């Protein structure tokens, strides 16, 4: 139906005919923040093997000295294995496995991933320990859990977030804790899973921002896609904190402008669903909200009224339809009045050719002639005058 076409084309007109220029040129940083301590990963693997050795040695009711004697090594050597300070010699792996009555695969088992349920259980247990115990006790428990799964980056980043947030709430900022949290965030940034990388970048952004290390915080923003509004919002926060007032205003205004476009599309989707399901009360609500939205974002009266035209045509409400048509024609020349709004004064827009507005009026008149949509108005003198038809 022609009226529906008008409603659906409003956003398209705005996006395709009115271009936003001079946008922020954001450079994506390299995907490494600081030097990565690769030795820590090896240390985790040593720690995990050590835990396997200790576990099965105790199951066998064997002391470190007894184990050392049967393997032909020193007791301090066994102690170093179990504490994650060194690996056993490769020639000792099979004898160790036989001695502990396990397979070499069990001894060398480096389980990389955990299920969502397992991670969720650890998160819940961490919350419980934070409530009932000390931060130090909980931190050490979490650290041991992460060490059990040194390559599970999802566990790593979620534990970093939990410990980081609790540290902020409790006012705990000791370097011994923050260094571990920071390294877990950085490890998670290397994940092949985008969700994990974004979670880590978000956590690091907050970490560096709290520290006033805005250059590092800005690098974290590069992990967000250009299409993600969170990226521009974080840049705006950095600009505001670092005294870049003009850049901050511009970023916030661009977020407002794009938010209007996005939210208006959502409301129109609800409007169409309500129409298709016969829920006219909800359709009227959505149409009112579209008008309210345009008013709040200072988009001009054209956008405030045009969303209700389809509804008026469907209900064959002549007074409402003609009133809306008149306002659309009257305000066609000020379709882009938002360019003059103080809300967007730091944004740069391309000039619109006056021919565009003339064409818009002509197209509206043609659409208002549509028999299927507005045939119920053909005897109305006001409609005839509006579309340039002579009475009689």
Q: What is the pLDDT of residues 239-290, one digit of tens each?
A: 999 999 999 999 999 999 999 999 999 999 999 999 999 999 999 999 999 9
Query: CATH number for the domain including 63?
Result: 1.10.260.40
Q: Is 333 exposed, middle or buried (0-12, 13-18, 19+ CB in 10 A)?
A: middle
pLDDT band at 318 (very low <50, low <70, confident <90, very high): very high
Task: Report the C-alpha gap between 392 and 60 in whole angstroms.
Answer: 107
Q: Is residue 233 part of a domain?
A: no
Residue 60: alpha-carbon gap to chain centroid: 50
Q: Is residue 64 domain-shared with residue 183, that is, in the same domain?
A: no
Give per-residue burial for 32-66: e unless 16+ CB within 10 Å, then b: ebeeeeeeeeeebbbbbbbbbbbebbeeeebebee
Given a contact cutoff of 8 angstroms between Cβ atoms, the answer to whether 255 and 20 are in contact is no
Q: Is residue 86 domain-shared with residue 121, that is, in the same domain?
A: no
- Per-residue pLDDT, 219: 94
- Per-residue pLDDT, 30: 37
Q: Is residue 291 part of a domain?
A: yes
- Per-residue pLDDT, 149: 79
Q: Is residue 280 domain-shared with residue 349, that is, in the same domain?
A: yes
Which of 117-126, 145-154, 279-288 shows the lowest mean pLDDT across its residues? 145-154
pLDDT band at 17 (very low <50, low <70, confident <90, very high): very low
Q: Is residue 246 part of a domain?
A: no
pLDDT band at 111 (very low <50, low <70, confident <90, very high): low
- Sign of the C-alpha dihedral computed for residues 378, 383, 385 and 391 taken in this order: positive
Q: Is residue 207 domain-shared with residue 132, that is, in the same domain?
A: yes
pLDDT band at 110 (very low <50, low <70, confident <90, very high): low
What contacts 24+ positions apart, CB below 8 Å, involve 138-144?
138/163, 138/166, 139/163, 139/177, 139/180, 143/180
- Per-residue pLDDT, 390: 46
Its domain, for residue 188, covers 116-225
Q: Is residue 83 domain-shared with residue 171, that is, in the same domain?
A: no
Task: Report the C-alpha gap between 107 and 53 in whole angstroms.
Answer: 7
Q: Is residue 29 part of a domain?
A: no
pLDDT over 50 at 12, yes or no:
no
Q: Is residue 139 domain-shared with residue 202, that is, in the same domain?
A: yes
What contacts 24+ positions apart, CB below 8 Å, involve 162-169?
162/123, 162/126, 162/127, 162/130, 163/126, 163/138, 163/139, 164/203, 164/206, 164/207, 166/130, 166/135, 166/138, 167/135, 168/210
pLDDT tens, position by position, 341-380:
999 999 999 888 989 998 999 999 999 988 888 999 988 9
Q: Is residue 171 domain-shared with residue 55, that is, in the same domain?
A: no
- Per-residue pLDDT, 112: 56
- Per-residue pLDDT, 48: 74
Q: Is residue 275 part of a domain?
A: yes
CA dist 136 → 122, 125, 179, 280, 380 (Å): 17, 15, 14, 59, 80
How many structural domains are present in the chain? 3
Q: Is residue 262 domain-shared with residue 173, that is, in the same domain?
A: no
Domain boundary among 55, 72, 107: 107
Angle between helix 245-276 and helix 280-296 axes, rounded to 10 deg: 160
348-349 and 20-21 as β-strands: parallel, antiparallel, unpaired? antiparallel
pLDDT band at 151 (very low <50, low <70, confident <90, very high): confident
Q: Is residue 15 domain-shared with residue 133, that is, in the same domain?
A: no
Query: CATH number for the domain including 209?
Result: 1.25.40.10
Task: Report the C-alpha gap between 92 and 75 in whole angstroms.
Answer: 14
pLDDT band at 18 (very low <50, low <70, confident <90, very high): very low
Given a contact cutoff of 8 angstroms between Cβ atoms, the answer to whether 167 and 178 are in contact is yes
Given a contact cutoff of 8 angstroms between Cβ atoms, the answer to whether 20 and 254 are in contact is yes
What contacts 24+ positions apart, CB below 8 Å, involve 364-367?
364/6, 364/325, 364/328, 364/329, 364/332, 365/329, 367/2, 367/3, 367/5, 367/6
pLDDT band at 85 (very low <50, low <70, confident <90, very high): confident
Which residue would you say has higher pLDDT here, 327 or 34?
327
Which residue would you say has higher pLDDT here, 39 or 29?
39
pLDDT over 50 at 392, yes or no:
no
99-104 average pLDDT score: 87
Percentage with pLDDT > 70 across the chain? 85
pLDDT band at 34 (very low <50, low <70, confident <90, very high): very low
Domain boundary among 88, 107, 126: 107
What SS3 class is residue 74? Answer: coil
Q: Is residue 278 domain-shared with residue 363, that is, in the same domain?
A: yes
Transcribe 141-205 into DSSP letters. Answer: HHHHHHHHSTT-HHHHHHHHHHHHHHHHHHT---HHHHHHHHHHHHHHTT-S-HHHHHHHHHHHH
Q: Is residue 215 part of a domain?
A: yes
Task: Report the C-alpha gap between 177 and 138 in whole angstroms.
Answer: 11
Which residue would you say has higher pLDDT here, 138 or 148?
138
CA dist 95 → 62, 71, 102, 152 (Å): 15, 7, 10, 29
Q: Is residue 376 domain-shared with residue 281, that is, in the same domain?
A: yes
Percentage with pLDDT > 90 across the chain? 64
- Per-residue pLDDT, 113: 67
Given a contact cutoff of 8 angstroms between Cβ atoms, the answer to whether 230 and 214 are in contact is no
CA dist 176 → 150, 172, 179, 181, 206 (Å): 19, 11, 6, 9, 18
pLDDT tens, position by position, 157-191:
999 999 999 999 999 999 999 999 999 999 999 89
What SS3 class is residue 6? Answer: helix
Phi then psi dihedrals of residue 20, to 5 deg: -95, 125
Q: Is residue 336 domain-shared with residue 292, that is, in the same domain?
A: yes
Given a contact cutoff of 8 angstroms between Cβ atoms, the answer to whether 29 and 182 are in contact is no
Domain boundary among 107, 124, 152: 107
- Per-residue pLDDT, 248: 97
Q: Is residue 234 part of a domain?
A: no
Round the average pLDDT of the chain to a whole number and report it: 85
pLDDT over 50 at 14, yes or no:
no
What pairs with residue 349 in β-bridges?
A: 20
Q: Is residue 321 part of a domain?
A: yes
């Amino acid at each position: 139906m022609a009226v529906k076409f008008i409603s659906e084309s409003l956003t398209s007109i705005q996006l395709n005919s009115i271009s936003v220029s001079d946008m922020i040129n954001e450079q994506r940083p390299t995907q490494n923040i600081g030097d990565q301590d690769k030795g820590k990963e090896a240390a985790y693997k040593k720690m995990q093997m050590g835990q396997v050795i200790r576990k099965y040695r105790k199951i066998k009711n064997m002391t470190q000295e007894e184990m050392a004697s049967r393997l032909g090594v020193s007791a301090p050597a066994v102690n170093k294995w179990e504490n994650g300070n060194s690996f056993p010699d490769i020639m000792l792996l099979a004898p160790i496995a036989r001695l502990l009555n396990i397979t070499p695969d069990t001894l060398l088992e480096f389980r990389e991933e955990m299920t969502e349920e397992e991670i969720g259980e650890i998160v819940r247990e961490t919350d419980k320990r934070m409530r009932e115990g000390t931060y130090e006790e909980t931190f050490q428990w979490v650290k041991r859990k992460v060490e059990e799964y040194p390559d599970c980056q999802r566990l790593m980043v979620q534990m970093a977030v939990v410990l980081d947030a609790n540290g902020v709430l409790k006012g705990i900022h000791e370097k011994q804790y923050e260094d571990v949290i920071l390294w877990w965030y950085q490890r998670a940034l290397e994940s092949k899973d985008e969700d994990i990388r974004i979670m880590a970048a978000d956590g690091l952004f907050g970490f560096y921002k709290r520290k006033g290390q805005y250059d590092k915080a800005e690098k974290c923003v590069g992990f967000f896609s250009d299409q993600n509004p969170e990226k521009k919002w974080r840049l705006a926060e950095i600009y505001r904190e670092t005294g870049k007032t003009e850049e901050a205003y511009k970023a916030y205004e661009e977020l407002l402008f794009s938010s209007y476009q996005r939210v208006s599309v959502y409301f129109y989707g609800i409007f169409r669903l309500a129409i298709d399901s016969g829920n006219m009360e909800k359709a009227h609500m959505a149409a009112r909200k579209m008008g309210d939205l345009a008013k709040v974002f200072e988009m001009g009266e054209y956008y405030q009224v045009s969303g209700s035209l389809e509804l008026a045509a469907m209900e064959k409400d002549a007074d409402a339809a003609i009133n809306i048509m008149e306002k659309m024609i009257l305000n066609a020349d000020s379709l882009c009045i938002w360019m003059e709004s103080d809300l967007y004064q730091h944004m740069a827009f391309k000039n619109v050719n006056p021919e565009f507005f003339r064409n818009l009026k002509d197209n509206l008149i043609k659409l208002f002639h549509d028999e299927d949509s507005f045939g119920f108005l053909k005897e109305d003198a006001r409609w005839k005058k509006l579309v340039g038809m002579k009475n009689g």
